[in-house]
Structure formats: structure tokens, C-alpha cells
């Protein structure tokens, strides 16, 4: 039995797999090792809109990291890929991208350049 959160992760992963430049490198596990260009879906912040034990989650906010190799093309790759990623995610009416923040993502012993896209979803 899947949960609403798992269903949202599956839908988000499917949307991201449509981005050709990612070449299928979409990871649901933040501990996954990204080689080349890829996307990492971090566990979401979850909100419940009502009280009680039977109430399910009503909203979630995911951070999706667009990760690129740390080389002289890193910034260019981030600029070129952030819009196609946003478009693919928002191609599913469940999702809305609210921001993309640059930074570094720890991968093993290395920090890799990233855009961290915040993705909101109603559950």
C-alpha cells in the first residue's frame, strides 16, 4: 500500500525522467551517488491541515536538487537545465515550483554544484 507522499514522489520522479539531459539519473535517495548531471529528490516537508489521528497530510514541499559536475561548465549547465526541470515538473498539474536556490550538495566526500528547486504539492 502506498501513501500519498509515496505517490507524489513517484509522480515527481516520472516528471523529472522526461528531462532528456538528465538521461534517467533521477534519485529518490539523498544518499545516492550522482555521476554526471542528475536530480535528487529529498524527503519533503509535510503539513497536515486538520487535527485528529485519521487526518492525512494535506500539503508537501519537496526540495529537488539539480546536480552537475564540479568543472568549468558547472554554472552554464545549471543555467541551461533549471528551466527545463521547472517546465517538466510543472507539466504535472499537481506540482508548482516556487523557487530555485544555488548551492552545493554533499555527495560522498565531494560537494557538487546544485540548484535546489522547491516544489509544492497538494495531497
Residue ranges in the chain modelled with pLDDT below 70 = 1-2, 52-53
Q: How far is CA 19 from CA 22, 44, 46, 58, in A?
A: 6, 21, 26, 28
Cα distance between residue 83 and residue 39, in whole Å: 13
Residue 49's pLDDT is 81
Residue 55's pLDDT is 75
Kindly report whether the global pTM for this prediction surpasses the value 0.85: yes
Cβ atoms of residues 121 and 62 within 8 Å? yes
Residue 67's pLDDT is 98
Residue 109's pLDDT is 87
Radius of gyration of the chain measured on its C-alpha atoms = 15
Domain boundaries, the chain: 4-45+57-122
Class of the domain covering 4-45+57-122: alpha beta
How many C-beta neighbours within 10 Å does residue 17 have? Answer: 15
Residue 2's pLDDT is 67
pLDDT in tens, 89-112: 999 999 999 999 999 999 888 999
Amino acid at each position: 500500500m502506498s501513501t500519498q507522499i509515496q505517490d507524489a514522489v513517484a509522480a515527481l520522479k516520472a516528471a523529472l525522467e522526461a528531462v532528456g539531459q538528465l538521461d534517467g539519473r533521477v534519485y529518490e535517495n539523498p544518499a545516492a551517488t550522482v555521476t554526471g548531471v542528475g536530480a535528487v529528490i529529498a524527503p519533503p516537508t509535510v503539513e497536515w491541515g486538520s487535527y485528529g489521528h485519521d487526518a492525512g497530510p494535506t500539503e508537501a514541499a519537496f526540495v529537488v536538487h539539480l546536480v552537475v559536475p564540479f568543472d568549468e561548465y558547472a554554472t552554464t549547465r545549471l543555467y541551461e537545465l533549471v528551466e527545463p526541470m521547472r517546465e517538466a515538473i510543472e507539466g504535472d498539474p499537481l506540482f508548482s515550483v516556487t523557487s530555485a536556490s544555488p548551492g552545493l550538495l554533499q555527495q560522498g566526500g565531494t560537494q557538487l554544484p546544485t540548484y535546489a528547486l522547491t516544489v509544492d504539492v497538494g495531497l
